[in-house]
Chain A
Amino acid sequence: MTETVVDFPKNFAEALNNSQLRRNLRAAMDTMGHRRRTLFADLDALEQLRARGDAIRWRALRQLPDLLEQLEKKCTENGIQVHWAETPAEANQICLGIIQRHHASRVIKGKSMVSEEMHLNHFLDEQGIEALETDLGEYIIQLDHETPSHIIVPAIHKNRDQIARLFHEKIPNAPYTEVVEELNAIARKVLREKFFAGEVGVSGVNFAVAETGTLCLVENEGNGRMCTTAPPVHIAVMGLEKVVERLEDVPPLLRLLTGSATGQLITTYFNMITSPRKPGEKDGPKEVHLVLLDNGRSKIWADPELRQTLKCIRCGACMNHCPVYTRLGGHAYGYVYPGPIGSILTPQLEGLDHAGAMATASTFCGACEEVCPVKIPITTILRRLRTESYDKADSPNAVKGHGYKVNRMESLTWKGWALSNATPWLNALNAKVLGLAGPHLSKLPQVGVLKHWGQSRALPPFARKSLHVLAKEKGIADE
């Protein structure tokens, strides 16, 4: 994925001019926000719960290497085979190896953002293996060869007419209907057959409990249970930060996750998997594999400030409340994780030189931080990423691709600015010149960067008197 260069300005302009997309998104994000607020109406209780969630995730991260080893040990004792992968490519190879060992050609998938990060479907497709998404939203976008635009509701950018047309065109014998229930019924029918025939099931993991070696999955549709129960082999892929220490850590996180994501007290299913089929049991996979993916997480972890990024439980609330995301949608960001969490996570995973622009897609309103169930200081991390974009110094914890924005023109400008502000006579001269030019140069000139900036904004006129002069007139000492 790093090969593709994402053209952010172009993406942003396109998204902003797509009025259908903006209508679809606006309605959905408002609804999700409203549902969340209704569920968490008791703000004191919510604060208490968020503090608990934050503490649980922080405690887990603090002991990360120990917990990963404990998780591995417990899982192995339970009969779950644990694999470690440093890169998406390694994780893909591990999955492929398992699939090939079972001579399987049909893989059914539950929703998993890590598998998106791995581009697993694309990879398997190249190997001649069908990987079918079974979550309704994922199924819809897979039919249209798209990627998720939201981590919880992946097809939220589409409305029912678009889905109706898609089903009618792509699914043999599907009638055209815009009735949501009928669209669901069509998908149910197609996917039932796939569940029946699936040879390997792939899923993500919401929490992995080190204490018991248990993989927890949250879902509403039942497709996740199908994928993890009906086929003879189950492969669970997870980012290595998803581990928690104890079983008792699960209930608070579960409440925070479902409440923050969709305003639900609980999802339809909470699925806890601790072992493959035991002797005498009649169903469930005979083999369960857990793939632990690093992909840069251990590097993020090494820095105490950036580490907070890894507390994320992927609820999507930061997107639903983000003024930038709700206007652009997920695709404009160009990477797997969009919205505020994407803006802090992706540049760290992919490198600032590739995805650093994502850190600029923020108004710093702080809404994301206010709703984040595990209190990730998103704006602080954004600021750090922006700073590092201009920092060439090679400190051990520097973010990959740092200093990519450093260029001579900009450094000269800032040097000049610093000089001017530290040298009173120069500053006074500058102010005079601009002030005198005032009547003629009533606004900032519309050139260079300012041209873009000015296109959709009213530009401020120059003040007749500079701050220095005004301060002097008011008798404030100039230090």
Chain B
Amino acid sequence: MSNARANILARLRAVAPQEPAATPEPDFYPATKLGHAERIAQLKRLMEHMHAEVIVTDPQHWIATLKDVLRARQVNGLLYGPAGPLGAALEANWDSELPPLVGYTEEVEQCKERLFALDAGITSTRGAVADVGALMLWPDANEPRLLSLVPAVHIAVLEATHIHDSLADAIARERWAEGMPTNALLISGPSKTADIELVLTFGVHGPKELIVLVLDDERG
């Protein structure tokens, strides 16, 4: 194995380095600067095009909106992260007539059965990117990775002020290069495939439904 490394690098190092190319690197797309409302509108339009449901709501009433979303569906429970940013608010406002809240609190090896049996999961988001219409998630110990993947319905809560113009913008402004998390994700809709005759169908291996609650202070 170590031989392979040495041999490969020796082959690559044996070639004299070439002059730095004079190729200019043009900007990646003329950067469009969007206003607050435009950013939300663009994100909503693009994500809905990808079959996500995007509901803009105000930060005081998002739990009421969430309850409506759940009542409209038959789900057997809502997986969440009790120690995550949404945990306390969910617990304080839950009603017994709603599908039960189920905390993702153990390592996956201990709770795989339960995890795979639940219909819905809720996560916060780190933000979103407007130019392509996608959420940014940095799952962590409190809101693990499978929370946004295994349940058939994924509900994501997004703060409108965290929507960036583009991924390039988010990477630069938030200085991602200085420290990447275990896993960073962009999610643009429910899972989909076009592998049979290029017919687009939604809900293959990941969630069949993605519902985004955008919390917007400046609404109305």
Contacts and interface: CB of A to CB of B under 8 A. Distances in A.
Interface of A: 24, 27-28, 31-32, 45, 48-49, 51-52, 54-56, 58-59, 62, 64-65, 68-69, 83-86, 90, 94, 134-137, 140, 153-156, 158-160, 163, 180-181, 183-184, 187-188, 191-192, 195-196, 211-214, 220-223, 225-226, 229-230, 232, 240, 246-248, 250-252, 254-255, 262, 265-278, 280-284, 292, 294, 298-299, 301-302, 304
Nearest to A136: B195
A247 B176 contact: yes
- For A214, A220, A271, the residue with the greatest tally of chain B CB atoms inside 10 Å of its CB is A220
Interface stretch (B2-10, B58-66, B89-97, B155-163): B2-10
Interface string B97-136: 0000000111111001000100000000000000011100
Contacts of A212: 176-177, 180
A188 B168 CA distance: 34
Contact of B144 (A254, A272, A275, A282): A282
Of B5, B187, B195, the most chain A CB neighbours within 10 A belong to B195
Contacts of B168: 248, 251-252
B12 interface: yes
A187 B146 contact: no
Contacts of B50: 268
Main secondary structure of the interface of B (DSSP, over half): loop
B205 A195 contact: yes
A137 B195 contact: yes
A370 to B, nearest CB: 19
Contact of B109 (A232, A274, A278): A232
B205 A226 contact: yes
A71 to B, nearest CB: 12
Given A58-B21, A294-B4, A248 B177 contact: yes
B8 A269 contact: no
Nearest to B147: A283
B145 interface: yes
B29 A270 contact: no
A58 to B, nearest CB: 6
A45 B30 contact: yes
Nearest to B20: A62
B188 interface: yes
A54 B5 CA distance: 27
A31 to B, nearest CB: 5
Q: Which 10 A-B pairs have the closest CB atoms?
A: A222-B206, A137-B195, A222-B191, A270-B186, A65-B12, A84-B5, A283-B108, A222-B205, A266-B132, A274-B180
A174 to B, nearest CB: 14
A158 B197 CA distance: 8
Contacts of A94: 1
A240 B203 contact: no
A192 B205 contact: yes
B188 A266 contact: yes
A154 to B, nearest CB: 8
Nearest to A91: B4
B186 A275 contact: no
A228 to B, nearest CB: 8
Nearest to B208: A188
Contacts of B207: 222
A31 B116 contact: no
A213 B182 CA distance: 11
A134 to B, nearest CB: 7
A275 B29 contact: no
B185 A272 contact: yes
Contacts of B196: 136, 140, 155, 158, 160, 163, 180, 183-184
Contacts of B189: 268
A133 to B, nearest CB: 11
B35 interface: no
A251 B167 contact: yes
A277 B26 CA distance: 38
13 contacts: A51-B23, A52-B27, A140-B196, A211-B177, A220-B204, A221-B206, A247-B177, A251-B171, A265-B188, A274-B184, A281-B141, A283-B107, A299-B11
Interface residues of B, number: 75
Contacts of B199: 160, 180
For chain A, what secondary structure do more than half of its interface residues adopt (helix, strand, loop), or is it mixed?
helix
Given A247-B171, A282-B141, A267 B188 contact: yes
Contacts of A278: 141, 182
B17 interface: yes
B25 A56 contact: yes
B144 A281 contact: yes
B201 A270 contact: no
A230 B144 CA distance: 11
Nearest to B8: A294
Contact of B17 (A62, A84, A268): A62
Contact of B186 (A68, A140, A180, A266): A266
Contacts of B176: 212, 247
A48 B27 contact: yes
Contacts of B106: 282
Contacts of A226: 149, 205-206
Contacts of A229: 145-146, 149, 183
Given A84-B4, A255-B29, A268-B192, 18 more contacts: A27-B197, A49-B29, A136-B204, A158-B196, A160-B196, A188-B204, A195-B205, A212-B176, A212-B180, A225-B145, A230-B146, A254-B167, A268-B50, A271-B185, A272-B180, A280-B141, A298-B8, A301-B15
Contacts of B17: 62
B13 A65 contact: yes
Contacts of B107: 282-283
Interface string B39-78: 0000000100010000000000000000000000000000
A262 B194 contact: yes
Contacts of B104: 282
B185 A269 contact: yes
A196 B113 CA distance: 8
Contact of B146 (A49, A134, A283): A283
Interface core residue of A184, A191, A274 (most chain B CB under 10 Å): A184
A269 B186 contact: yes
Contacts of A188: 203-205
A336 B194 CA distance: 21
Nearest to B207: A222
